[in-house]
Amino acid sequence: MAISKKNKNRALVDGKEYLWWVFDEVDQTEFDGIQIKAVCSDQSHFFKYGLQQQETDRKLVIALNNYSKLVHLSSPPRFENDDGIITKSGIIRMIKWCKSGDHQIQYALDEMNNDLTTENHC
84 domain-assigned: yes
Q: How many domains does the chain have?
A: 1
60: nearest Cα among 103, 4, 110: 103
Residue 17 inside a domain? The answer is yes
Domain that holds residue 36: 9-121
pTM above 0.75, yes or no: yes
Report yes or no on 4 lying in a domain.
Answer: no
Q: Is the Cβ–Cβ distance between 48 and 61 less than 8 Å? A: yes
d(CA 67, CA 61): 11
Q: Is residue 40 part of a domain?
A: yes
Q: Is residue 82 part of a domain?
A: yes
Tens digits of per-residue pLDDT, 28-51? 777 889 999 999 999 999 999 999
Q: Is residue 2 part of a domain?
A: no
Nearest to 21 by CA among 32, 33, 10: 10
Mean pLDDT score of the chain: 85
* pLDDT of 120 higher than 60: no
Burial readout 49-65 (b: 16 or more C-beta within 10 A, e: otherwise): bbbebeeeebbbbbbbe
Residue 1 within any structural domain of the chain: no
**Per the domain annotation, does 3 fall within a domain?**
no
Question: Are the C-beta atoms of residues 53 and 59 closer than 8 Å to each other?
Answer: yes
Whole-angstrom Cα Rg for the chain: 14
Q: Is the pLDDT at 95 greater than 90, yes or no? A: yes
Quick one: pLDDT at residue 121? 35
